[in-house]
Amino acid sequence: MLFYHFNCLNDFIKSDLMTSLKAEKEDLKQTLHLYNSKKMNLLSITTNMLSMSNALDKNQLENFYETVSLLKKSFEHINNIQELTTKLDNDLTSIISLYDKSLDYHFDEIKANLVEYNKQRDELTHKILEFETMNTSILNATIKLSLNLSHKTHKKIEKQPIQIPENVKPQKDTVKVDIELEPHDNNVLIVSEKEQKAYLPFFYATVKEIYQNPENHYATMQDVVDELYVVPLENFKNSSLARFREAFRLIREKEKASVSKAFDLGLELMFRHELNPVIIAACRNLDELDIYLSYLEDHQAYEFSCFEIKFEVMPQLVKKSKNTFSF
């Protein structure tokens, strides 16, 4: 707030205006910097939430949903804070410009602008208080989830100690997709019950881009495929959490879109029980997912053709009648 009493505004403009405006601009600059840092912290919390989602059970689903809903609102609050802070900074620049041109000529306009500025500055303070209250709730919720997960993991380790036989060599995984031998797009999703893995479709250009990025450290393009496009089915065991996670990643990592949009899609699809989360992971962009969802809603998922979907199911006996079985 630049001034506290309207009756003193005239004296304030004539005496302390420029000093106060420069100090206010510096304060807004610090606010922007602070909430950029807070946004990065929230993004880190979100990343941790996604990484722990595989280990959460259905009993923790409600807590997870409430936490990510709070995270979504917090990102929206931060965006509002940043937008309003930027607007206020621009308003101050305009006031300074009017002052430099002619204080006497623009006195009434400057006065009106300062009154409006004060109102919006109060709004900014209110938004900051709202965010900080919500941020405390988020921290408490994530700590609760982490403690529950830690307790669950500890019990699991106690019951099932890991033992590695000395003379057993791990078998090399079967390579279903060899990008070195077949340097083109992979347009097939393979869900293998036998291997307990999903082999995801990819665009050759995307794999090549990831491989050539100096920030990544892949020895071959096949390493990219094996790490990013071969996924354990265990990751999709809790389907609701998996739908949220894969939708969020689709928006952030494949579409390079905003966190808010990622939360929107994740929460929208989280409880779409008819949607297999592997399909979300397999979609290479949002257009493919939208096409699939459109067919799914019309009960015509078999018409989807952006990529082929193959399920490798383990042979099992199916009871047809009292004494008749078939594979």
| Residue 113, token pair as written in the block | 């602008």
**Please, how many CA atoms are within 13 Å of residue 203, restricted to the half-sphere of its CB?**
10
What is the full per-residue pLDDT of the chain (327 aa) written as tens digits? 565 555 677 777 888 788 889 999 999 999 999 999 999 988 888 888 888 777 777 777 888 888 888 899 999 999 999 999 999 999 999 999 998 999 889 889 998 999 999 999 999 999 999 999 888 888 787 777 666 654 454 344 334 443 433 443 434 445 577 888 889 999 999 999 999 999 999 999 999 999 999 998 899 999 999 999 999 999 998 899 999 999 999 999 999 999 989 999 999 999 999 999 999 999 999 999 999 999 999 999 999 999 999 998 876 644 444 433 332
| Cα angle: 292, vertex 297, 303; to 5 degrees | 45
- State which H helix or E strand residue 264 sits in: helix 259-269
Where are the chain's structural domains?
6-159, 188-312
CB atoms within 10 A of CB 113: 16
Going from the C-alpha of 67 to that of each of 40, 138, 144, the distances in angstroms are: 17, 6, 10
pTM across the whole model: 0.75
CB atoms within 10 A of CB 182: 10
The conformation of residue 313, written as its DSSP 8-state character, comes to P
Q: Could you give the CA distance from residue 122 to residue 82 in angstroms, rounded to a whole number?
A: 15
**Please, how many CA atoms are within 13 Å of residue 48, restricted to the half-sphere of its CB?**
16
